[in-house]
Every structure is written in C-alpha cells, then in structure tokens.
Amino acid sequence: MDYKINYSSIIDPLILSAKTIGVNFILFIFLGTYLAFLLSKKDFRFKWLLNTVVTLPLIFPPIAIGFFLLLLLGRNGFIGAFFYNYDISFIFSFKALVLAGFIAGLPLMVKPLQSAIEQFPKNIKEAAYLSGKSRLKTLIYIIIPSIKKSLLACLIIACARSLGEVGITLMLGGNIIGKTDTISLAIYNAVFDGDYNLALILSAILVLISLIFFILLNFLQKKQTNL
C-alpha cells in the first residue's frame, strides 16, 4: 500500500515552530539578558523571588506549570480576566506558544548568562562607573560585547529547549491542528493517530535541527577555548 505524504502536515508545524522560535529569540536577547543582569546585581532587593521564578521551569514538571498558567491566563483567571476586557487572549493562540517556549528556555538563557556577567572583571566595571556610565550602559556597551560568545551559546541552548517544549505548550496552546500544533506536538499527534511514517519524518527533521544547534554550540565552544 502506497503511503502519500501530506506535505502540509510537515510544513505547517515547521513554519509555526520557526515563527515561535524567532519571537522567542528576540525575547531571550532583550528580556532574558536583562533578567540575567538583574540577578547578577548583589543589591537587587527581589533577587530571591526573581531567581525562584526563573529557575522554577528546571525543577517543576512542565505539564503542571502549563496547568497553573492556564488557570492564571484563562478567561476567568486572575491575569487573563484583566486582559480579556481589552480583547487580549493568551490561551489557545500563537501567544501561548511563544509564552510556553519562553518559559521553558528562560532558565537555560538566564542562569549561565548571569554567571558570565558575575565573572566579568570588577575593575573594568568600576572603571566604567567612574567614567560616568550607568550600570545598564556598562552592560550594553562593555560587558555584552566581551561575553558575546557566552550570550550566543545561551541563546542556542534556550532556543533548542523552546523547540522541544511539549508540556506547557500542550496546556496553553491546546494542540489545535493547523493553529497551535508545533513540530513537537505534531509528532505527538501523529503517534496518537497511528501515523508512524509522519511521526518518523517529523522526528527526523527535529533531530536534524537539534544537530544544527549542537554543531553551532560546539563551534562556539571551540572558538572560546582557542582564545
């Protein structure tokens, strides 16, 4: 029996995943870097709270995180009800996919970058402060250019984690075929429907993308070692 490939079942989840990773990439650069900077400050008052929130996805089951976010961001949720008054919905939409991927990859972006910022020579930072630069300007113009390879490595790892996210995405996105089924969820759906050929093709694509991430990461590590 010939098996006909439905290319839309492959291309649509791939494009959706690419869009999600693209938005997450931008969020990681700006928001992730800023959170790492805040956590690197010893005098930050709410450091313990922020550190807990950022680290939580590493130690808490993703499906449970997704459920709690569903309660918070749903139409009757504490946060969701407020945004619903302005016709803004996070659940079962592209926003949900972005949020799920961002939360999953955030600790892998923030924690290593925080460590890199903390290890940056204090005398250079103090010299920048004495010259009149603020902490934020010192971060942007002095620290980030010096640790750009570490930043890129963090971005690669965080985006790779976002790509493979299933638990939070399943709860927030709802796994709506053609709308919120990323490549990872498309594999889940294919297996559930007994379409193992489609699942195999999608898995092979995901493995290939993961290998590309790994090669880029390995390349950055080698360049850093040779310096």
In a domain, 28, yes or no: yes
Least confident of 3-12, 94-103, 128-137, 207-216: 3-12
Per-position b or e across 104-124, b if 16+ CB within 10 A of its CB: bbbbbbbbbbbebbeebeeee
Q: Which of the four pLDDT bands, split at 50, 70 and 90, describes residue 16?
A: very high
Per-residue pLDDT tens for 135-147? 889 999 999 999 9
d(CA 143, CA 131): 15
User: Which residues, at least 6 apart from 57, have a Cβ–Cβ distance to it below 8 Å?
Assistant: 65, 103, 104, 106, 107, 168
pTM score: 0.91
Task: Find the domain containing 57 and state its range.
Answer: 8-226
Instruction: Identify whether the C-beta of residue 10 lies closer than 8 Å to the C-beta of residue 88.
Output: no
Total tally of structural domains belonging to the chain: 1
In a domain, 126, yes or no: yes
In a domain, 3, yes or no: no
Percent of the chain with pLDDT over 70: 96
- The residue assigned the tokens 């898995």 is 203
Percent of the chain with pLDDT over 90: 69
In a domain, 163, yes or no: yes
CATH code of the domain containing 181: 1.10.3720.10
Residue ranges of the alpha helices (H) in 44-121? 47-59, 62-73, 80-84, 94-118
Q: Is 53 helix (H, G, I), strand (E, B) or coil?
A: helix
In a domain, 123, yes or no: yes
In a domain, 2, yes or no: no
In a domain, 212, yes or no: yes
